[in-house]
Structure 1
Amino acid sequence: MSRLPDTVRPVVERFVRLTAEHVPDLVEGVHLVGSTALDDHRDGVSDVDAVVVVHRRPSTVDLDGLRLVHRQLDPPRPFDAIYVLRSDLAADPSQADTVPFAHEGEVHADGAFEANPATWLTLRDHPLTVHGVPLTRDEVWCDPAVVRRWCRENLDGYWTELLQLWRAVGADMPDDQLTSPYGLAWGVLGPLRLLFTIDTLTTTSKSGAGRWARDRVAPHLGPVVDMALAVRSGQPVVPYAPPPQVWSDGADLIEWVIGHAASLPPNAQR
């Protein structure tokens, strides 16, 4: 656990203890993904995200036990997880059987969004095993065409809808959302992560995507990327322009990402 931030380590250790108590013999391994695995964890902002490999598909009794585990974990810190068989990791996650998941302290029997190609790619390229047998790169599925298609569909669906919302109400957004890690910074850096994966066929953190994109975006979008990175890092931030202009630049950035992603070859890495 040498890469774990000091604030994350006790949460992981508590999770392992609680699962041993409430769902004995279920958990085979715990592998962190998200900002912790990508060296971008921010205390007070980042959740702890995990792929938990289990020995069996969780039963109703197991799910009840997992509910006890997550209710005792959250608070003090969100510990979000998906529960998969080791064999699930060898195949396209969209083809997996029912995948239970926990989000914000609540356990659900199926519908795990995080069972997706980007999560599998993080497991493959940036493994951070904190309990059990580490995963090897060859154990984790990767189909470049499917990964890139999934990222493009995410941009064309979710992020296009968010773009339309920003265009409609951005000028009326509360000013504090400009400097919140869940506001402008999240909306700017999130789609850049997808573009990074389409272009490089690997994953990076929100901060990593912003740094990578800084010299690639259109020049007038550089300041909004810089501001998003500063907010993400926890620095004091003074908006570089009046709020309506900053929100407009953020919307332009999302639109640029969607258009640039569509222009890249569907299967070839640049």
Structure 2
Amino acid sequence: MLPREVRTATAAYLRTADRLVPGQLDGCYLVGSTALGAYRAGRSDIDLIAVLGPGPLAGAPLLRRLRALHLSQAPRVLTGAVRARGLHATCNVAFVAADQMSRPVSAIEPVASHNGHEFFSRAAFDVNPVMWRVLAERGITLRGPAARAWELDPEPTTLAAWNADNLTRYWQAQLDRIRAGRSPLRPQAVEWNVLGPLRLHATIATGHVLSKDEAGAYGQQLFGDHSGILATARALLAAGTVPAQPQREHWRQATAEVMDRVIADAKTLAVG
């Protein structure tokens, strides 16, 4: 059974979608942490792929309605930011036209997407080989046929290359920012920056998409000499007891060190 937060948030979102884009939401699927069995109440957001069928709304009028649908999330976004200093139980959605769903994922032209407070026209980061792999294998249907009925093409042969590119474009820049900082690293930043690159490393090495905690366990097996900061990241993710070592004033250095090693090793695997 889905977590109560997820049931409540998605039901409200679908009701609003049916009012704003009536008759055109042909499918809706949970991906991300919920599909991976790693949703954490009060902490996780809710990732959705929404399939739009043909209808009276198209082009600019459709985008205006999807923006309004995004704005319907504002109270939930603000509540999460105030109570938890972050987003949770917020529906982050990528919209794809039904006639695009069977195309290779890299060739799909998204209609729009929204993530937290941001709305993007004709773009959606989650329309990528990793999320399409999750959708094809573990996507949870909220509306419409099972995900496999769309004859999805996650382009598995591009999976390693896509992750390696993401490591270069995003995570290397994150590493550079961490190295340039001076103040102690915040707990949320440790969790994000330690476990994020490990998820990509695991996908490059194994072809599987792991949750953050699964990636942490994977990292502890491979990079045991960084076990202190890896255990810290997993404890922060679980809101559990944080190990005494490394001490907080050393979190920044330890995070940078493990990121550097993971990124370098993953790039080697990707081209090997």
Under TM normalisation by the shorter chain, which class is it? 0.7 to 0.9
Instruction: Return the letter of the residue paired with 2:11.
Output: E
Where do residues 50-199 of structure 1 align in structure 2 (5 Å cutoff)? 50-56=48-54, 58-76=58-76, 77-136=89-148, 139-169=151-181, 172-174=182-184, 177=186, 179-180=187-188, 183-199=189-205
Aligned-partner Cα distance in 2 for 1:161–1:70: 29
Aligned length: 258
Where do residues 40-59 of structure 1 align in structure 2 (5 Å cutoff)? 40-56=38-54, 58-59=58-59
Query: In structure 2, the residue corresponding to 1:111 is in which secondary structure?
Result: coil
* Deviation per residue, 1:163-215 (Å, 9 max, x gap): 1121221xx2345x1x33xx101000001111111111121111111112211
Task: Tell me how large the CA RMSD over aligned residues is.
Answer: 2.1
Displacement of 1:144 after TM fit?
2.9
Displacement of 1:114 after TM fit?
1.6
Q: Contact 2:104–2:152 at 8 Å: present in 1 too?
A: no
Aligned-partner Cα distance in 2 for 1:42–1:71: 24
CA separation of 1:173/1:39 partners in 2, compared to 1, >3 Å: closer, same or farther?
farther
* Deviation per residue, 1:214-269 (Å, 9 max, x gap): 1111x3201111110110011142541233422212111111111211222648xx
In the other structure, the counterpart of 2:16 is 18
Residue 6 in 1 paired to residue 11 in 2? Answer: no
Q: Contact 1:74–1:105 at 8 Å: present in 2 too?
A: yes
Q: Contact 1:214–1:222 at 8 Å: present in 2 too?
A: yes
Q: Contact 2:9–2:90 at 8 Å: present in 1 too?
A: no
Where do residues 218-257 of structure 1 align in structure 2 (5 Å cutoff)? 219-257=224-262
Aligned-partner Cα distance in 2 for 1:264–1:124: 25
Identity %: 28
Query: In structure 2, the residue corresponding to 1:80 is in which secondary structure?
Result: strand
Aligned-partner Cα distance in 2 for 1:192–1:138: 30
Query: In structure 2, the residue corresponding to 1:130 is in which secondary structure?
Result: strand
Large movers: runs of 4+ above 6 Å: none
Instruction: Return the letter of the residue paired with 1:200.
Output: T
Query: In structure 1, the residue corresponding to 2:69 is in which secondary structure?
Result: helix
Structure 1 residues not aligned, in runs of 5+? none
Aligned-partner Cα distance in 1 for 2:58–2:207: 32
Q: Contact 1:84–1:99 at 8 Å: present in 2 too?
A: yes
- TM-score if structure 2 supplies the norm length? 0.87
Q: Contact 1:29–1:133 at 8 Å: present in 2 too?
A: yes
Q: Contact 2:193–2:255 at 8 Å: present in 1 too?
A: yes
Query: In structure 1, the residue corresponding to 2:95 is in which secondary structure?
Result: strand
* Deviation per residue, 1:71-103 (Å, 9 max, x gap): 223322421101012343333333222431112
Which has the larger helix fraction? 2
- TM-score if structure 1 supplies the norm length? 0.88
Aligned-partner Cα distance in 2 for 1:138–1:102: 22
Aligned-partner Cα distance in 2 for 1:199–1:67: 38
CA separation of 1:160/1:106 partners in 2, compared to 1, >3 Å: closer, same or farther?
closer
In the other structure, the counterpart of 2:209 is 203
The equivalent position to 1:212 in structure 2, one of 204, 218, 225, is 218
